[in-house]
Chain A
Amino acid sequence: MSGAIDRVHAFRQSNAWIFSTMLVSACLSLLASFVLSVDAIALAKDPAANLACNINARISCGTVGSSWQAHLFGFPNAYLGLLAEPVVITIAVASLAKVRFPRGFMLAAQVVYTLGVVFAYWLFFQALFVIGALCPWCLLVTLSTTLVFTSLTHVNLRDNNLFLSEWVHERAKAALRIGLDAVVVTLWLVGVVMLVFTKYGATLFA
């Protein structure tokens, strides 16, 4: 068990793992954004459009997609994913090919993506507590955005692309060495899943 944990830990520190995670997550997020954009057009044409992901009262893209939260800035939120994820894909592919980006560039990526994650979770909580329905593609965006954010933050903490002081950077690296990043993200996702089930419970299957 402990041997496995050490091996997984060592693998998680490799660029191959970090940037592959980033690449796959960004591709999934892009795919979901694309589907949601297409759905947004379908809903604009016909508000009663029967989308494939309207499964029941709780799992329904139609309900979520027709809410005001779904186009907070006057256009479907998914367009933001279409704009941002290709940049992440580019960073991930270039990094897998051993390109090193300037620290300022990575800092900018971190800042913008952090805003994206905050927005994604704002939407998630709106869907959960205000709109009262979840949509599968939005959940995929929430999950993949979390994973992109995790891998981006991991690499930026490791390489100190965030211009942290020596002292803070040492602490961050120590946290990465004991795998605190994985613990935090895992517990966070467990918390999110538990929240969905506590809030909706059996009605998810109704």
Chain B
Amino acid sequence: MPQPTKKKRTLSGATTVKTAGTGRAAAASQREIMRQAREQEEREAKLRRRLGVGTLGVVVIALVVILVVVVVPALTKKAAATGSYALAIGSESAPVTIDIYQDFMCPYCGQFERAQSADLKAMVDSGQAKVVFHLMNFLDPSSSGTKYSTRAADAFATVAKQQPSAALAFDSALYADQPAEGSSGLTDAQIADRARSAGVSDAVIATFANQPNLDFVNKSNQAAFADGITSTPTVKINGTVFKGDLYTAGTLKTAVEAAK
């Protein structure tokens, strides 16, 4: 098939112009031009249909891939994520349970902890209450890419599981002089230092580097969302959300005593 030259293509717009002359040669060349224009149009239409079908194919494949790889597992996993990601600190038989949903990057969690830590420690030590931590890491995007929420929560989960007696002190150490939201948070070395100052053993600190609780922390975060937690800190006393003033010392203790 002859390649159409540019000249012929630009002439294709002339197909509707009537031939002025009636000479045979003029009519023949007119027909030739029209034929070539039609062929050109046919070629373009064919190409256009192929491109169109191809593009639709890509769209359909992309939709199917997203559906199969992401959406379906996400929806089925939600139903399955019911394991317990609670970290209980204190006497099993304590009459009152205080649930704390927190993210180590959340400024209000720090404010809560600094106001209540002495009371929490006293209540746990006396067996009056046990504290159940629910770790969250949804503020990971607010630590300049260092995922401070996850790193801190990972270390905390390690301590709560392996050396629960140091957990409350470590919690306080992480929130004392808390890094600002949006900063890069504490470095791994600083987290280890604070653990050491809180009395965590070197053997336990040595395991921080492997981040053994990454999956646990992610699932704990998901489980908290599944529980309907919409903000941190959320504090529950015997399962009921504490609606009082979280940021003044003594308020929580009063509520715990009332719940006994």
Contacts and interface: CB of A to CB of B under 8 A. Distances in A.
Interface of A: 1-2, 5-6, 8-9, 48, 50, 56-57, 60, 63, 66, 130-133, 167, 170, 174, 177-180, 182-183, 186-187, 190, 193-194, 197, 201-202, 204-206
B222 interface: yes
Given A182-B55, A187-B55, A2 B70 contact: no
Contact of B45 (A6, A56, A183, A204): A6
A204 B74 CA distance: 9
B78 interface: yes
Give the interface centre of B44, B49, B71, B74 by most chain A CB atoms within 10 Å.
Answer: B49
Nearest to B139: A57
Is chain B's binding surface mostly helix, strand, loop or mixed?
Answer: helix
Give the interface centre of B54, B55, B65, B108 by most chain A CB atoms within 10 Å.
Answer: B55
A183 B74 contact: no
A202 B73 contact: yes
Interface stretch (B30-38, B140-148, B170-178): B140-148
**Interface size grouping (class) on chain B:** 35 or more
B48 interface: yes
B74 A202 contact: yes
Given A56-B138, A66-B182, A130 B59 contact: no
A186 B142 contact: no
Nearest to B103: A57
Is chain A's binding surface mostly helix, strand, loop or mixed?
Answer: helix
Contact of B48 (A9, A60, A190, A194): A9
B140 A57 contact: yes
A63 B144 CA distance: 12
A178 B141 contact: no
A197 B71 CA distance: 9
Given A50-B231, A170-B10, A202-B74, A57 B48 contact: no
Contacts of A132: 140-141, 145
B29 to A, nearest CB: 22
A150 to B, nearest CB: 14
A202 B77 CA distance: 9
B62 A194 contact: yes
Given A178-B48, A197-B66, A56 B75 contact: no
Interface string B51-66: 1111100110010011
Given A63-B142, A186-B59, A178 B51 contact: yes
Contact of B138 (A57, A177, A197, A201): A57
A179 B145 contact: no
B53 A205 contact: no
Contacts of A170: 6, 9-10
A190 B225 contact: no
A177 B182 CA distance: 50
B47 interface: yes
Interface of B: 6, 9-10, 44-45, 47-49, 51-55, 58-59, 62, 65-66, 69-71, 73-75, 77-78, 108, 137-142, 145, 182, 221-222, 225, 231
A179 B62 contact: no
B141 A57 contact: yes
A5 B52 contact: yes
Contact of B62 (A5, A60, A193): A193
Contacts of B74: 201-202, 204-206
A158 to B, nearest CB: 14
A147 B73 CA distance: 32
B78 A178 contact: no
Contacts of B45: 6
A63 B106 CA distance: 13
Given A5-B53, A179-B51, A63 B10 contact: no
A74 B66 CA distance: 38
Nearest to B10: A170
Contacts of B73: 202
A2 B141 CA distance: 47
A206 B145 contact: no
Nearest to B78: A205
Contacts of B44: 174, 177-178
Contact of B222 (A60, A179, A206): A206
A197 to B, nearest CB: 5
Contacts of B58: 186-187, 190
Contact of B141 (A1, A8, A133, A190): A133
